[in-house]
Amino acid sequence: MKLTGLGVSPGIGIGRALVVSRAIPTLRFRVAERRVGSELARLDAARAQSRIQIQQIQNRIATAAGSEHAYLFDAQLLMLDDPMLVDRAAAIVRQDRLNAESALQRALEEVSALFDRIDDPYLRERKGDVADVVGRLVMNLTSNGSALELFRDVEGPLVLIADELSPSLIAQLDLDRLAALVTDAGSWTYHAAILARSIHVPAVAGLRHASGVVPPGAIVAVDGSSGVVLVDPPADVLADLEARSRKRRADERSLDEYAALPAVTADGTVIRIEANVELPEEATRARERGAEGIGLYRSEFLLAGALAAGLDEDAQYRVYRRLIEAMAGGRVTVRTFDVSESQLGLSAAGETARAPLGLRGLRLSLAFDDVFQTQLRALLRAAAHGPLRVMFPFVTGVEELRAARAAVVQAAETLRSRGTSVPHLPLGVMIEVPSAALTIDLLAAEADFVSIGTNDLIQYTLAVDRTDDRVSRMYEPLHPAILRVLRQVAKGAARRGVPVSVCGEMAADPALLPLLIGLGLREFSMTAAAIPMAKQVVRGLRVADTVRLAGRALKAATAADVEAVLAESMATVKR
């Protein structure tokens, strides 16, 4: 089976399929032979717990509505002992070594197929009762232990296949056994895709139905560059892919020497290269790969899987301090929470989903003062331990920056009232929306630095929803409008003498670095894995050449024309 999606993290990964569904929150995988007994025990425990629950429901209905209505649950109790359901699932666990949740799902499919062949419509509708019982069994399996804990013994390496994948789930996995990621949804700029590139795991997104068609335990080969996913490929194809994977790793190792070299062009212009990170633990790897600092720490990852703890001032302070100390004097830039109301857990119960252009980023922080003040106090305290900058996401104008500065002053006064000294904290803004880019002169007059978030800037400038796989291919970093916006921001910040960096995915593309430098940009932040390659590129450039390249690109009429200019330039260099 061959599936084709969007390659979002380069590299080739080969492993056995581990299938995750958000709609039915279970993991489906093959268990090691030594775990078969414990899977059967889990199944028995879930059946016993389900029986107690159904009997309790039956009693409650009898009390409330009369015993004549409680008979409905007699059938569900009988189903628990039906050899075609739980016992059949147990047989699947023994024979095929599937985990209990996966075996129950297959047993349900078999029973459902039988019901579908029944002519009597009343009996056919009983299929819903079976599904209800299976849902309860799965719920009890999940509540009796973390599925992530259970798959720790699954034979690796693993290819995680999900309908939708959260960064928090990835962060909980044993990364040493993770060969690749495959998702039905997503795009190049999904946080899960960004994290995949950050941890150097090949990934393909936008496959639509992969989680429904790839069997758990199948051998899956993922090409994160081409977007091709092969399920149970022939032996010769698999051997070729493994050879290509080994060659790629060797090529990457050949770049290691550049990690320790300065990023200076051939004509002596210093380029600053920093790393984007989601976890403090990544700081060490960032330094090893040659990062001068952390150009973007996405603080919202503190909230992943631990919302209440992530919002605690002391907990945040410890994380920021650990990050600063790990960089050993290297500059650290923390972006305040860039989340929506629902992601922050502040939506009212039952409230319908809000538009993505509603409360998010700095707007949300300003709307929820307690949350914002807590984060600012934690950052101000952490700034005592090393060079720290704070930048605000999704800023649309000067008024918001002034409000954020006032909030920082308030947080500082609170700390001083506690007897805590407060160091100077440089404050910057992210340029992610056209209004911020168009008012760069005004923002640069009041900000200590600016950072271009190219992912959102491209999306909002081109009016392309990058999460919509129907139009995500129109998300074009080389669109002439984007080049003009980047040049305007670079010039506007330079006139005010304000440092400007690029922390979006464009910075990590070695083919685009010469163009960005030619547009006047000198600071970049990218995934740690991309840094040695970026340094190699920088050291082979002459700024005068990049300026000429940018001049030609700015005259191009379409993204394809710009790409042709870049391709011609690269061909000239190779000659």
Q: Which residues are catalytic?
A: 191, 503
User: What is the three-class DSSP state of 431?
Assistant: strand
Compute the half-sphere exposure of residue 541: CA atoms within 13 Å on the CB side of its CA. 31
User: What is the three-class DSSP state of 274?
Assistant: strand
Cα dist from 7 to 99, 163, 170, 294, 311, whole Å = 30, 16, 18, 26, 34
| Residue length of the chain | 575
Bridge partners for 500 per DSSP: 450
Terminal CA-to-CA distance of the chain, rounded, Å? Answer: 41
Q: What is the dihedral of CA 125, 126, 131, 137, to 10 degrees?
A: 170
Q: What one-character-per-residue DSSP string does 181-204 give? A: EEESS--TTSHHHHHHHHTT--EE
Helix-helix angle 100-116:86-96, to 10 degrees: 120
User: What is the three-class DSSP state of 433?
Assistant: coil
Token duo for residue 91: 């047989």
In sequence order, which residues have a C-beta less than 8 Å from that of residue 235 and are 6 or more positions away? Answer: none
User: What is the three-class DSSP state of 304?
Assistant: coil
User: What is the three-class DSSP state of 450?
Assistant: strand
Nearest to 551 by CA among 516, 519, 511, 507: 519
Q: How many Å apart are CA 370 and CA 374, to the nearest integer?
A: 6
Place of tokens 């081109």: 462
CA-CA-CA-CA torsion sign (54, 59, 61, 66):
positive
Place of tokens 């209990």: 100
Asked if residue 164 lies in contact with residue 22, where contact means CB atoms within 8 angstroms, the answer is yes
**What letters, b where the CB count within 10 A reaches 16 and e where it falls short, cover 215-254?**
bbbbebbbbbbebbbbbebeeeeeeebeeebeeeeeeeee
In sequence order, which residues have a C-beta less than 8 Å from that of residue 302 and are 6 or more positions away? Answer: 310, 315, 316, 319
Q: How many Å apart are CA 195 and CA 291, to the nearest integer?
A: 17
